[in-house]
Amino acid sequence: MALTRRQKEVLDFIVVFLKEHEFSPSFEEIADGMGLASIATVHKHLTALETKGYLKRSFNQSRALELGPKYYRELRLKRQEAAHNAFAPPSLSTPLLGTIAAGRPIEAFPNQESLSFKDFLGAPDVYALEVRGESMIEDHIMEGDYVLVEKTEQVRDGDIVVALVGGSESTLKRFYHESGGKARLQPANSTMDPIMVPLSDLQIQGRVLAVHRKYR
């Protein structure tokens, strides 16, 4: 059973009193401290707190209030939650509010979904690279963009990959298998020629997962 607001205030008063004095308050001290009209009202609140497991009382002793098992259980849960939140990573999601037209206007609708980046960020096999050059502009990857790359050697034809050519030069291109043990690294720029390279001279260092662009 949940505590009422007044029961919670009485319990908080007792907790603070115990911390400050190292013994429990008397009924009179609770009444004075809480501004309660009578000892009977104090007794009513203490009985409710005891019934709900937040207090223990010994009726044959003065100042015989003790905090009950439910109080300590909830205190322990709050501390565990606080410790978890202190070390929890920041949220990797952002509200997804709908779609936006880049052509004709469309009607906007409220949307309660969220877009999560946790599949990309924080993973040990995902890293970021800043793009230099214009070889992928027709795939909307511009100079200054950041690509998120999954570290893998297993890619399929058409994947955008980070490829190390001849052990010395890394490049961002679309990957295609060709006959004769070769690969084609295809730029997304009609003014540039593809790179043909023997598979033996090619090392795939990763596959592009996403593109991030900052507007300054």
So what's the pLDDT on residue 90? 58
Burial of residue 141 (number of CB atoms within 10 Å: 0-12, 13-18, 19+): buried
Could you tell me which of 177, 172, 183, 116 has the C-alpha nearest to residue 149? Answer: 172
CA 216 – CA 213 distance, rounded (Å): 10
So what's the pLDDT on residue 185? 94
CA 166 – CA 152 distance, rounded (Å): 18
Q: Give me 20's structure tokens.
A: 């400050």
In degrees, rounded to 5, the angle at the alpha carbon of residue 170 between the alpha carbons of residues 166 and 174 is 100
48 in helix, strand or coil?
Answer: helix
So what's the pLDDT on residue 199? 94
So what's the pLDDT on residue 115? 58
CA 161 – CA 158 distance, rounded (Å): 9
Burial of residue 159 (number of CB atoms within 10 Å: 0-12, 13-18, 19+): middle
The one-letter amino acid at 171:
T
Helix intervals (H) in the chain? 5-21, 27-34, 39-51, 69-87
So what's the pLDDT on residue 34? 87
Average pLDDT, the chain: 82
So what's the pLDDT on residue 182? 95
Query: Between 24 and 111, where is the model more confident?
Result: 24
The b/e string for 8-26 (b: 16+ C-beta within 10 A; e otherwise) is eebbebbeebeeeeeebbb
Torsion of CA 184, 185, 188, 190, to 10 degrees: -60
pLDDT tens track for 91-120: 555 565 555 444 555 455 555 566 566 666
Tell me the β-bridge partners of 162: 172, 206
14 in helix, strand or coil?
Answer: helix
Active site residues per annotation: 135, 173
What band does 173 get if pLDDT is binned at 50, 70 and 90? very high
CA 53 – CA 144 distance, rounded (Å): 61
Q: Give me 15's structure tokens.
A: 């907790």
